[in-house]
Amino acid sequence: MIKEFEPITQELLNLIEEWESKLTNLSSEVISVRKNSQNRSIKQIVGHMIDSASNNTHRIIHLQYQQSPLIFPDYANFGNNDKWIAIQNYQEEKWNNLIQLWKYSNLHIIHVIVNVNVEKLGNEWTTALNKNVSLKAMILDYLSHFKLHLNEIKELISVHP
């Protein structure tokens, strides 16, 4: 494992363990009705986190065997992530299924990060905004993106109707 990624994977593991029970114990009102500034419920935020784990896992894999820079569909810009949320209808998904998918998608991306080929860390993909992002930068940023969405969930939990 790349030493620089150890704190990231360890913190992800800790957050998954901490948040699995928090998410499990939320009421249906809290997970479905309350909306953030992006008009997303907690169910939809968790769904987006699943999409993020999935898309980033694919990027990590592709960046280790395809020619760099890689043109990869950018689900995060131009409202595409909202399309993903709507098409998959996370709002109507069974809550426990979402939690488990969130947990195991992120445990899997940790596994993938642990097994990254150090020689491929400089490989890049080009975003829809025409910005090149290296494999290393993408991995380093994953934790902050993960925490951003946990903070959104925390804010919705603390809202008093």
Select from 18, 40, 125 the least CA-distant residue to 90. Answer: 40
Residue 160 has pLDDT above 70, yes or no: no
| Region of poorest pLDDT, from 19-28, 69-78, 83-92, 128-137 | 69-78
Peptide bond before residue 69 is cis, with ω within 30 degrees of 0 = yes
Select from 47, 20, 60, 82 the least CA-distant residue to 142. Answer: 60
Prediction pTM value: 0.94
Q: Output the six-digit token pair for 7.
A: 């704190």
pLDDT in tens, 99-142: 999 999 999 999 999 999 999 999 999 988 899 999 999 999 99
pLDDT at 28: 95
Task: List the domains of the chain with CATH numbers.
Answer: 3-158 (1.20.120.450)
